[in-house]
Structure 1
Amino acid sequence: MDINFSSIVPSLPFILQGIWVTLQIVAISLLIGFAWGIVLALLKISRIKPLMFLADAYTSIFRGTPLVLQLLIIYFGLPQLLGFPIEPYPAAVAAFSLNSAAYISEIIRAGINAIDKGQTEAAMALGVPYTKMMKDIILPQAFKNILPALMNEFITLTKESAIVTVIGVQDIMRRAYQVGADTYNYFAPLIFAGIIYYILVMLLTLLGKGVERRMKRSD
């Protein structure tokens, strides 16, 4: 069996270009998922039962089904209902955003519940509006507590983004697969793709630890 890494050297820049595609999808999806996750978390801790039920049902569905299934439904299924095609890139962002929001909402909810209830009661007693209380008092403290969990979700999303190859997005994995098909040597480009993902995860881990240390010093 010929495992020749030198045969893929001319194609390395092509594979490396996929890093930008991967990071774009992950970053946009995380931002949208984070915003939607905050909304879901607030609905879950609200006293309006129908909204609580809807938020819990949403989380249950997206956490209880495979991400690749959600991606395929959005990319292949929705166009049959809507009557127009959905491009691979928006489909990937939509799937990752909706899925990530379900997990992030649980992380944020746990962070909010970990805050001493006395702070909420004191704010209410002082007449602080609910929106201002959440924005200025509760959420900032909750975010400090849940930062490691959020970084873990960021890392997980980065690795899971490789599934976009099934719908043709030109990410790291897709480009590595194409190089393998062109050179009849799949092992080398896939190993190279694995190294890229590993480096990205290590960099994100170091970034998360750095931000966490900085936030602890600012306490």
Structure 2
Amino acid sequence: MNYNWNWAVLFEDPYLGWLISGVQWTFAVALAAWVIALVVGVSVGVGRTLPSRPIALICTVYVELFRNVPLLVQMFLWYFVVPEIVPEDLGRWMKRDMPNPEYVTAVVALGLYTASRVAEQVRAGVQAVGGGLTNAAYANGLSVAQAYRYVLLPISFRLIVPPLTSEFLTIFKNSSLALTIGLLELTAQSQQIAEYTFQGFEAFTAATVIYVCIALLATVAAQVIEKHTRIPGYVGGK
């Protein structure tokens, strides 16, 4: 009851600048990691559904490994362990000379972790298309690559827009773990403001509001995309 409320501190210099910088780093990490997650996730997800058993096995191992190890542990491994086990010159470059090592590590760790989740959604989307369309594609003389390019992927990508939206929101929230390796993203900047001003409630409320706004904007954008990509009358592969 004796808390000294001071919302104006969020608009003072340098604290407002810290919040803006934190938002910029959050977007930089999340969007770059999302690109990696989509590229790797789609490739691995498709690989899990291919007729080739070795490829499917490799992709399955990737998914199970990255999906079942906590993201925080993966960030620590990439930041502290990997530079010690690679060749000495490469490790020295990663620790001392690589530009923004905290940012690069956060993007790689978050991207590869999210890719394992995207891969499962892509796999489920391809399998949800149904065997009828797949067999029809092969019966019309399409190769495996052509069947995926012209039949399976165009339909499956439309089916998995909603779960991909959830992953897109999650990648913004998971980017907050980058503070553990020294990246001053939004959560870290809010914590820094709280430590400097002792106005922790205001600082973390501001971060919460910003995360909510990001989530709402992403949700609205996803709804628009889903509306324009929906397949009329298509339900469960029929």
TM range, normalised to the smaller chain? over 0.9
Query: Aligned residue for 1:72?
Result: 76
- 1:150: Cα distance to partner? 0.4
Percent identity of equivalent pairs:
26
Alignment of 1:30-49 (within 5 A): 30-49=34-53
Gaps of at least 5 residues in structure 2 are: 234-238
Secondary structure of the 2:137 match is helix
- 1:218: Cα distance to partner? 7.8
Pick aligned residue for 2:174 from 160, 163, 166:
160
Alignment of 1:106-117 (within 5 A): 106-117=120-131
Query: Aligned residue for 2:10?
Result: 8
Which is worse superposed, 114-123 or 95-104? 114-123
Letter in 2 for 1:2: N
Kindly provide the CA deviation profile for residues 91-114 of structure 1, in whole angstroms up to 9, marking residues without a partner as x. 011001110110001000000001
Which is worse superposed, 89-98 or 206-215? 206-215
RMSD of aligned Cα (Å): 1.7
Query: Aligned residue for 1:136?
Result: 150
- 1:205: Cα distance to partner? 0.9
Letter in 1 for 2:189: R
Q: Tell me, yes or no, if the aligned pair for 1:22 and 1:161 is still in contact at 8 Å.
A: yes
Query: Using the alignment, how far apart are the partners of 1:99 and 1:154 within structure 2?
Result: 13
Q: TM-score, normalized by length of structure 1?
A: 0.93
Q: Tell me, yes or no, if the aligned pair for 1:8 and 1:183 is still in contact at 8 Å.
A: no
Q: TM-score, normalized by length of structure 2?
A: 0.86
Letter in 2 for 1:8: L
Gaps of at least 5 residues in structure 1 are: none
Query: Using the alignment, how far apart are the partners of 1:116 and 1:6 within structure 2?
Result: 57
Write out the 4+ residue segments of structure 1 that deviate beyond 3 Å after TM superposition: none
Query: Aligned residue for 2:162?
Result: 148
- 1:176: Cα distance to partner? 1.2
Aligned length: 219
- 1:54: Cα distance to partner? 2.1
Q: Tell me, yes or no, if the aligned pair for 2:191 and 2:204 is still in contact at 8 Å.
A: yes
Secondary structure of the 1:17 match is helix
